[in-house]
Structure formats: C-alpha cells, structure tokens
Structure 1
Amino acid sequence: MKDIHNNKNTLNKLPLHGAVGAGLWACRILVGVLFIFSGLIKANDPLGFSYKLEEYFEVFHMTFFSHFSVSMAIFLCALEMFFGFALLIGAYSKQIAWGLLLLIIFFTFLTFYSAVFHVVQTCGCFGDAIVLTPWQSFGKDIVLFVLIIGLFINRDKIHPLIKNSNAEKGVVIIATILSFGAGIYTYNFLPVMDFLAYKVGANILDEMKTPPGAKPDEYEMTYHLKNKKTRELKTMSSTEYIKSNIWKDTNWQIQGEPESKLIKKGFSPKIVDLTINDAQGSDYTHELLSNPFYNVIIVAYNLDKTNVAAIGKLNALALNLTQNYNIRTVLLTSNSAKDAEAFSKANHFFSEIFYADEVPLKSMVRANPGVLLMKNGTIINKWHFNTVPTYDNIVNQYLDKH
C-alpha cells in the first residue's frame, strides 16, 4: 500500500503530456487571462465599480455595506487580478483553485439573479469598456464555471513555473502590490482609459443628439383579453389584435393595462439623462453647454460626501479665473437647492450652482469633486480634485494661447 501511495505521488509530480496536459494549460490560460483582464478593466475605474456594488447592496437590502463600497471594489479587482496571475504561474494552486471556485459561484449567482429578476441591468463585469446584458454575463460565468471546475478537479496537477520558493514569494508579493496599486492609483486620480460618454474630446451636446434618419426603438403592445361568455383568456400582440378583428367582438374585453415590449433596439444617444436646472427649475442645459468661451464646471454629485478642502481650493481657483479672465465657473450637484445654498454659505462658495441628476454627474468625472474645462460643449480636459492644475498652469496651457 505504501508503494502504491508513493507511486501515486510520483505520478502527480510528473509533467503532464498529451491532451490532458494541453487541456489543463488551455483552461489555465483562458481563466487566468480573463480574470486578469476583468480585474484590470474594473480597477481602471474602481469608483464606477463601487457604484455597481451599491446597486447590488440596495437589491439585497444591505445598504450598510455602501460605506465600504470603494474599499470592496478595489479589493475585488485586486483579488481577480491576483487569482488570474497566480493561476498562470501555478503558485498556491490548491488555494487558488478554491478561491476561483468560490468566486465564480458568487458571481454566477449574482448574474443569474440579475437576469431572472431584472434588478441590475448591467453587471459591471468588464466595467464600461464592454457592457454585457445580465443573460450575457450569466452565460459568460457558466463557461467560466465549467473551466474552473476542470481546474479544481485537477488542482493537484497544477505545478509552479517558478521552482525557487523564495523567488515565487517575491513575485507573488509584487503581483499583490501591483494588483492593489492599480485600483488605489485610479481612485485617487482618474481612470487611465475613459470609456464613458464624457471623456476628454467629447462634445456633450453632440452626444445628446439623435441624427436625422436614425431609427428609434420599436415596441409592440401586448393585450390580455377575457371572453365575458366563455371566460376564455387570450394574450395577443397589437398586430394580432387588429388583424384578427377580435376588437369588433364585444364579448372580448381587455383586462388590465396593455404591456409594452421592446422588439427591436434602435439608435440611442450616448447621453440621454442630462438636464441642468437652476434652483427654480429652469432648464440651463443648452446655455451652459453651448458656451463658446472657456468655462469651468465643478462636479460634486453629493455635497454631503464631497472633499471640503478640495472645494475650498477649487473655489479660490474659480475666483481667480473669473476675475482675471472672465471665465464662467459653475458647480453641478444633485443635492437639493436648500442644502446646496447652505453648503455654499458655509464654505463661502463663489461659483453659480446648478442641479442635475446624480447618475450623469457620476459619469462626468470619477471624483467628488471633479473639474471639467469646457469650450463650445467640448470637454477640453478634466481632473480629479487631487490633480487639478494650478491657476498659472491653466493660464499658460490654455488661456494665454488663445
């Protein structure tokens, strides 16, 4: 028995050959690369990922976790990248196999729940770079689940590429630091790659337009009918309802409200939810976004959570730009007019205040506050409050050149 056990251990340590070995390596590469890509693309925008986590917290009535959404977003992104990298180099294979299995079970449950109950319409698996529907996300997770099951069953056959244990530990430590560092860096600055509609160079007004001839979404009405005499029930589309002439038969009555169903997706502008109002509710969207001169927009989607020290510095910057170059500066927030006015008085805020929904403000710039430099509706540049240039730099780079 001892010899058999020793022989089994020896076989497990031998390099894999043939189809089994190739299949295991294919699974490692596919899963590893996909996890690294998924984690990296979300780490590019951890604040955006945290918003998605908050949606899930609301669905499951766990809003107390919202206070930790950013930390959890950075941690999950780093975990995905670390698992993917460790799988590729074969480090800690048993622990990584267990971690991958638990993670994919968790992700599969979330995407299945979203798809069935229509609660979170985009899972955020690949951030805003690749937007998947809930069913597409669930399908992707099923494929990953199958691959990871294969890795889990063969976890004893995954051997490290780095034979020296100290060297392996060093590589793992570096990978861990880089995994966490990516999310921390982009959170404190801005995404390295901006996949949102409000990226530098975009014209907001153009992104809100529907071009001539573009086809809108096509919907079909569905009617629920009941026969007064026979009590028979029918469900018919609006086309069937008209074509069958059933509407002429007074015995058939429509029950409840007709249902509208999307049957063909048409053109949809990249920006559909931006409306800017003043305290009285007057629409200033076009006036502010069509300004032909340089103008500065400070975005603080939530004044209760904004960085007050940064607001003070931006206030001084706005004052100097307005006094010396007649630059119009405004603050955009989703807070109520009453709360915004109280905030303005408490912080001696100089700029005009306008109001918009929280969702587009979160997309404008991944910072609270963040700054947009605009001209003719085009975003010339934008900054996180940690990277806003000085007054002299803005003047030298933009204003004195024109």
Structure 2
Amino acid sequence: MVRKIAVNVARLVIAMTFILSGFVKAVDPLGTQYKIVDYLKAMQLGTFVPDFLTLTASVLLSAVEFGLGICMLFAIRRRLVSLLALCMMIPMTALTLWLAVANPVTDCGCFGDAVTLTNWQTFTKNVVLLGCVAIVRYRPLDMMRFVSKTNQWIVTNYSMLFIFAVSAWSLYDLPQFDFRPYHVGTNILKGMEIPEGAEMPTFETTYLMEKDGKRQTFDIDHYPDSTWTLIEANTRQLTKGYEPPIHDFYINDIETGEDITMQLLEQKGYLFLLVTPHLGSADDSQFDRINELYEYSRDHGYRFYGLTASDEKAIGQWRDMTGAEYTFCQSDETVLKTIIRSNPGLLLLKDGTIVRKWSHNNLPQLDEEQANKSLEQLDIGHLPKDTTPRKILDIVLWYMLPLFLLTIADRLWAWSKWMKRKEETNKIFKLLRKKKMRKKIVAGNWKMNLNLQDGVALAKELNEALAADKPNCDVIICTPFIHLASVAQVLDANVIGLGAENCADKEKGAYTGEVSAEMVKSTGAQYVILGHSERRQYYSETPEILKEKVQLALKNGLKVIFCIGETLEEREANKQNEVVKAELEGSVFNLSEEEFRNIVIAYEPIWAIGTGKTATAEQAEEIHAYIRSIVAEKYGATVADDTTILYGGSCKASNAPELFAKPDIDGGLIGGASLKCADFKGIIDAWKK
C-alpha cells in the first residue's frame, strides 16, 4: 500500500510538472524557439541550425512534454511512458547541471515566462523529478488508471490535437496567455518605476556606426553626428540592483539618436507602435492593412511609429516595398521580441498603457463607418473583454471538461462491468445463467468401432429410447465415415444430431483415402470432431493442419467439436492452462466472433481417456472456468457465456451428475460408454438429476 501511494504521488508530481511545462511552451512557441536559439548560441551552434528547425523543435518539445504528462496522469501505456520520461529526464538533468555551473543562459525557460527559475533552482527541480521518474519506472503498473485501456486512445489523440492546435493558433495569432511584462493592461511607465531607496542597476547602451566604410562603436555620451549611419544598438547590464519588470525598454530617434521613450509614453492619448524586430524577415503580406491603419491614425491625430532593431538600409527597403510613410525608431531586438510574438506586430497604447495587441495575421480592419469614428468610440480603443479568467474557462470547456466527462463515464462503465463480474462469480447466478443461455450437450464418439450393421442398429436403438424418453439436453453421435449416410436415414434430427469423427484439411483433389468436409456435410451430418488427442498423437495433426480443417468445416456449414487437453506429464508439471490456451490460439482463436459461435469446445484430459482415471469434478471445473476466461479475453464475456464446453475423460453414468452440476461444465464427449445404449442414456439422464 505504501509503495503504491509513493508511486502514484510521484506520478502526479511528474504529470502536473510536464503538463504545465508543455502547455506554457505551446502557448508561446516563439518564446520557446528564442530560448532554444539561446542554448545553441551558448554551445556555439547558433549559425548551424536554421530557424524553421528551431521552431519545429519548439512545437515538438511542448507536445512531447504535454503528451507525456497527460499519459502519466491517466496511466496510459505505463511501462513505455515511464521509460520515455526517464530517457527525457536523464539528459535534461545533465543539461541543467551544466547551466547551473557554467551559467551560459540566465533562465532555462522550462516554464516559459510563466514561472522564472534560477539555473540552480531548475537543476534542483530536475533532480526531484528524476527521483520521481525512477520511482514510477521501478513499479509502473502500480499507477492507478483513470481511464480504461480501451478508451485511452481518445485521451491521447484528443490531447495531441489540442496541444498542436494551441501551438498553431499561438503562431498564427498571439499567445492566449501573455506572461511577459508587456501584456495587455500593463502601463509601461509604471513597469519601469523603481521604488524609492532601491539599489539601482546600471546599463550601457552602445551603438555600432558606419561612415565611409569604417565601423566604430560609440556610447550615448559620445554619439556621433548625422554623417554616421547606425548599424545596430546593444544594451547590456553593468551592475545588478533592483530590476523593475520593464527595465530595458527604450525608443531612440534614428536620425538624432535621441532617446524619446519618455516623450512618447508620457504624452496623453493613443499611440500605435508597429513592432518589427527584423525588417528583413518581417511578413509583408498585410502591409496594405498596416498602411490603412497608419492613415486612420494620421486622420484622427494619433501618433504612429515603427520600432525595429534593423538598420537604416533595411528600413529603406521596407519603405520601398510597402510604401510605408510612418516614422521608424530604434529599439533593442530582444525587447521587441518580448513585447509581441509577431514580426510585425501592432500595439495600441493609451496614456502609456498597452490597450491592444495584434499579430500581422489578425490586424483590425475598419470599414467606412468605423474609419470615421475615433478610437474612443470603437471597441479596439478599449481593453478587451476576454479576461484571463475567461480564457481559463475556455480551456476548461474545450479541453478539461470533455476529458473529465470521459473519465466519469469510463469509471461508471468500469464500475458496472465490475458489478457484472462480481455477479457472475456468484455460483448460483452462474448456474442459472448457464442453464438459460448455453446448450447442454452429450456427444458420443464411437471411434473405430462397430461395423455398418451394428452401428445402424445402435443408432436405431438410441433413437427409439430417446424418442420415448425425451432428454434434457442435445444429443449427438459421431460415427466413422462409413456409417454416416446410413445412420442419417434412421435418426430423427430433432432427437439426435449426427457428426463425423474427422474431416480432411483439403477441399478436394488427389488425396486418396481422405474425406472432405463437403462430403461429410452431404451425408446429413451437422457436426465434426476435430483436434482429438488421438488424431494429434497418432496422425501428427498440427495446429496449422487443424486450423485448415476448422475453416473448411465451417465453410461447409458444419459445427465443430474442437478437442483440447493435456498429457499426464503436462498436468503434473502444472502446465495444463498454457497447453489448452496454446491449442485454442493455434487453431480457433483466428476465427471471427460469428465463426467462433459455431465451435463447441471439448476438454479431454489425455491422461483420463480410456484409462479409467477421471479428473475430479473440482479439477474439471477449474480448467473449464479457465478455458471460458480465455475465450472471454478473446471474444468478450457474452461469447464466453454462450460457448458450450464439454468434458471428455472417462465420463460414466456414475460420475456424470457430479460433473454436470458444475457451472462451467456443459456436458460430455463420451467415448467407450457411448457404444451401449443403456450406458450412453445413463449419462444423458444425468441432466435430469
């Protein structure tokens, strides 16, 4: 009990961590891509891996983490999932140890921007997770399932569809959850404030400039004149101190180099900022709509600026390509990527507060009536109504609620199945069900006995005796081939069924001495015995041969009495269960459910056939119950309950009542005792006792 509790607690810790980590990465795949690029740069591999590969890796990483978390939560493919989790955590723990020691990247990004951990905190977290994974991997089957095995595919497929949809939507539009300092509703000025008395960090901004083919770096105090061309600007922190949420945001006038950040943010009213970290890789498919918004802002007196980290050459190319008339300003590339996950993306600020964000795929489109209204009169001029609680509710309704309902329905179904199993283990119920549903059969196997005249005479005698004293079960006699046609003429098919003792494994052809299933059927027989131990032993009939015989018999409309059973050596080695299972799997478990319903199973302990030895009623019931259970595993409980299983092993009138009283014994396949009318009828009459 303690072990199972430990495994399931560890499983839940892993599941919740992986789900959270995978989801926040899927919500912000570009942010995860930027972090992957940081890792590659730290490993000196940044120039070798193209952007599409890092973005693909970002999406796949989030899907793998989320998928493993869901599978761990619902205990799906427990052995495989625990192994995959271990294979993932070992290199991840080693990687975070390197991060903690070398500190090439300040934030591992394992929870995106939702939760920021130091590298040592990340390493500690991974050590704990690795320990949890090791516990789960040691005893994966101790994880309790929340959804049955048959319904697990719904959970995995739905979860993968959901997480890929989240990533796709976040790439097309914007992340549904914005954990960064520049989320909608943030006042940038307040985000930059430093409390009174706080220790101040220091930063240095440098500018790479070019003039007459010569490049030189300047700081803000030595910014050159306008004859120099700005190549790029970089800001780095010199000393640590209190770091406000927004600490590296700036807007520089490209022409003068002047910092106009406060000038723009402190002015009252609306401000459009078109954010394009790299103009060379910016999507230009919506430039017409951008220009329309610029014209709208100009007509209504709103300020509109482009922010970029690109140089003046790239800005000129953008203007030539799009016809842009708005002013461009310089800002830090990393900051711009942090502000909005779109290139380009559009921000609307009012009094320094971010009111709206749009990706280039979802820019607002104003009709003629809206274009004549001010932003105060339009919805886009106000904070959106889709608050974080509303977004969380959407996630619950679209993902968690369906899975919760599936789990409840599945557990109710599992409970009803458990109740049904409990009910069916009740001996009284099983007896009643058996008597109601399954056929009771006593079948005689004459083997190689009786000439034609004696066989016909015995058939007549049996027919008269049973016609006069109706049996409480179905009766079948299986005779040698030579008797079939003649015996069929003297039997009343409503009283006694007729069967053959064998048939060929070939349909027709040059097989001297063989009798096909079609020939057997043509005599008037309805049954055929296949797989008898004597055929297996003396004529080397293999499971493959018997499989062919069964198929041909069923094809020709014969019902099959299929024999299985173990030798004395196998019984003494306690291998009887695996023997009978292998014989069924080898020859009849390939059948469809509809075909299998024409199979009658006859269990014959080989050590009790013709030896005078008989399995005790308890031994016979035990193996019959096992046979029924493996039929249930293959075809379901309903088919198993309907399958007639006969006992064949020195069954006599004296022991038949005790054997037939067992709930899983549905009659007998009788050998020597079927050659005399009185003996055979004594066994048949056991069903009346």
- Whether these two folds match at TM > 0.5 is yes
User: 1:282: Cα distance to partner?
Assistant: 2.0
**1:266-281 → structure 2 map (5 Å cutoff):** 266-280=241-255, 281=257
User: 1:396: Cα distance to partner?
Assistant: 5.5
User: 1:303: Cα distance to partner?
Assistant: 1.0
SS at match of 2:279: coil
CA deviation profile, 1:213-232 (whole Å, cap 9, x unmatched) = 224469xxxxxxxxxxxxxx
In the alignment, the residues of structure 2 paired with residue 158 and residue 396 of structure 1 have an alpha-carbon distance, to the nearest angstrom, of: 61
SS at match of 1:100: helix
- The residue aligned with 1:356 is 331
CA 1:284–1:90: 2 relative to 1, 3 Å: same
Aligned counterpart for 2:184 among listed residues 196, 200, 208: 200
In the alignment, the residues of structure 2 paired with residue 395 and residue 35 of structure 1 have an alpha-carbon distance, to the nearest angstrom, of: 50
Aligned counterpart for 1:117 among listed residues 90, 96, 102: 102
CA 1:36–1:396: 2 relative to 1, 3 Å: farther
Q: Find out whether 1:48 has 2:31 as its counterpart.
A: yes
CA deviation profile, 1:83-125 (whole Å, cap 9, x unmatched) = 0111121111222112111211222122111111110110011
In the alignment, the residues of structure 1 paired with residue 371 and residue 269 of structure 2 have an alpha-carbon distance, to the nearest angstrom, of: 14
- The residue aligned with 2:42 is 59
SS at match of 1:354: strand
- The residue aligned with 1:221 is none
- The residue aligned with 2:282 is 306
- Whether the 8 Å CA contact 2:8–2:142 is kept in 1: the answer is no
- The residue aligned with 1:398 is 375
Q: Find out whether 1:294 has 2:279 as its counterpart.
A: no
Aligned counterpart for 1:331 among listed residues 292, 299, 306: 306
- The residue aligned with 1:345 is 320
In structure 2, what residue type is equivalent to 1:194?
D
SS at match of 1:309: coil
Aligned counterpart for 1:211 among listed residues 186, 190, 195: 195
In structure 1, what residue type is equivalent to 2:251?
I
In the alignment, the residues of structure 1 paired with residue 149 and residue 332 of structure 2 have an alpha-carbon distance, to the nearest angstrom, of: 55
In the alignment, the residues of structure 2 paired with residue 338 and residue 196 of structure 1 have an alpha-carbon distance, to the nearest angstrom, of: 31
In structure 1, what residue type is equivalent to 2:113?
D
**1:113-262 → structure 2 map (5 Å cutoff):** 113-158=98-143, 160-165=145-150, 167-216=151-200
- The residue aligned with 2:70 is 85
In the alignment, the residues of structure 2 paired with residue 394 and residue 59 of structure 1 have an alpha-carbon distance, to the nearest angstrom, of: 49
- Whether the 8 Å CA contact 2:185–2:354 is kept in 1: the answer is yes
- Whether the 8 Å CA contact 2:271–2:302 is kept in 1: the answer is yes
- The residue aligned with 1:234 is none
In the alignment, the residues of structure 2 paired with residue 134 and residue 288 of structure 1 have an alpha-carbon distance, to the nearest angstrom, of: 37
In structure 1, what residue type is equivalent to 2:284?
V
- Number of aligned residue pairs: 339
CA 1:22–1:395: 2 relative to 1, 3 Å: farther
Aligned counterpart for 1:282 among listed residues 258, 261, 268: 258
CA 1:192–1:397: 2 relative to 1, 3 Å: farther
CA deviation profile, 1:362-381 (whole Å, cap 9, x unmatched) = 11111111111112211111
SS at match of 2:280: coil
CA deviation profile, 1:129-155 (whole Å, cap 9, x unmatched) = 110000000000000011111111223
CA 1:373–1:394: 2 relative to 1, 3 Å: farther
SS at match of 1:308: coil
Q: Find out whether 1:372 has 2:357 as its counterpart.
A: no
User: 1:159: Cα distance to partner?
Assistant: 6.2
Aligned counterpart for 1:385 among listed residues 348, 352, 360: 360
In the alignment, the residues of structure 2 paired with residue 182 and residue 361 of structure 1 have an alpha-carbon distance, to the nearest angstrom, of: 23
In structure 2, what residue type is equivalent to 1:42?
K
**1:24-43 → structure 2 map (5 Å cutoff):** 24-43=7-26
SS at match of 1:390: coil
- Whether the 8 Å CA contact 1:79–1:179 is kept in 2: the answer is no
- Whether the 8 Å CA contact 1:93–1:159 is kept in 2: the answer is no
TM-score calculated relative to the size of structure 2: 0.47
Aligned counterpart for 2:6 among listed residues 23, 41, 63: 23
In the alignment, the residues of structure 2 paired with residue 99 and residue 131 of structure 1 have an alpha-carbon distance, to the nearest angstrom, of: 26
SS at match of 2:328: strand
In structure 2, what residue type is equivalent to 1:181?
A
In structure 2, what residue type is equivalent to 1:338?
K
- Whether the 8 Å CA contact 2:345–2:357 is kept in 1: the answer is yes
**Percent identity of equivalent pairs:** 29
CA RMSD of aligned residues (A): 2.2
In the alignment, the residues of structure 2 paired with residue 215 and residue 279 of structure 1 have an alpha-carbon distance, to the nearest angstrom, of: 31
In the alignment, the residues of structure 1 paired with residue 101 and residue 373 of structure 2 have an alpha-carbon distance, to the nearest angstrom, of: 55
CA 1:122–1:66: 2 relative to 1, 3 Å: farther
In structure 2, list runs of 5 or more residues that go unmatched: 203-237, 382-689
CA deviation profile, 1:190-231 (whole Å, cap 9, x unmatched) = 22222211111212122222232224469xxxxxxxxxxxxx
In the alignment, the residues of structure 1 paired with residue 313 and residue 107 of structure 2 have an alpha-carbon distance, to the nearest angstrom, of: 34
In the alignment, the residues of structure 1 paired with residue 377 and residue 316 of structure 2 have an alpha-carbon distance, to the nearest angstrom, of: 34
In structure 2, what residue type is equivalent to 1:45?
D
SS at match of 2:157: helix
In structure 1, what residue type is equivalent to 2:375?
Y
In structure 1, what residue type is equivalent to 2:64?
L
In the alignment, the residues of structure 1 paired with residue 201 and residue 262 of structure 2 have an alpha-carbon distance, to the nearest angstrom, of: 25
CA deviation profile, 1:230-270 (whole Å, cap 9, x unmatched) = xxxxxxxxxxxxxxxxxxxxxxxxxxxxxxx98xx752211
CA 1:217–1:334: 2 relative to 1, 3 Å: closer
- Whether the 8 Å CA contact 2:29–2:59 is kept in 1: the answer is yes
In structure 1, list runs of 5 or more residues that go unmatched: 1-17, 219-260
CA 1:214–1:72: 2 relative to 1, 3 Å: same
Which one has more relative contact order, counting CA pairs under 8 Å at least 6 apart? 1
In the alignment, the residues of structure 1 paired with residue 371 and residue 98 of structure 2 have an alpha-carbon distance, to the nearest angstrom, of: 48
In the alignment, the residues of structure 2 paired with residue 93 and residue 395 of structure 1 have an alpha-carbon distance, to the nearest angstrom, of: 62
CA deviation profile, 1:15-34 (whole Å, cap 9, x unmatched) = xxx11111111111111111
In the alignment, the residues of structure 2 paired with residue 335 and residue 42 of structure 1 have an alpha-carbon distance, to the nearest angstrom, of: 27
Q: Find out whether 1:95 has 2:80 as its counterpart.
A: yes
User: 1:174: Cα distance to partner?
Assistant: 0.7
SS at match of 1:304: helix
- The residue aligned with 1:222 is none
User: 1:311: Cα distance to partner?
Assistant: 3.1
User: 1:39: Cα distance to partner?
Assistant: 1.0
In the alignment, the residues of structure 2 paired with residue 382 and residue 163 of structure 1 have an alpha-carbon distance, to the nearest angstrom, of: 44
CA 1:297–1:149: 2 relative to 1, 3 Å: same
SS at match of 2:39: helix
In the alignment, the residues of structure 1 paired with residue 372 and residue 20 of structure 2 have an alpha-carbon distance, to the nearest angstrom, of: 39
In the alignment, the residues of structure 1 paired with residue 374 and residue 364 of structure 2 have an alpha-carbon distance, to the nearest angstrom, of: 10
- The residue aligned with 1:251 is none
In the alignment, the residues of structure 2 paired with residue 282 and residue 389 of structure 1 have an alpha-carbon distance, to the nearest angstrom, of: 31
- Whether the 8 Å CA contact 2:348–2:356 is kept in 1: the answer is yes
SS at match of 2:111: coil
Deviates more, 1:277-286 or 1:119-128: 277-286
Higher-Rg structure is: 2
User: 1:156: Cα distance to partner?
Assistant: 4.4
SS at match of 1:296: strand
- The residue aligned with 1:108 is 93
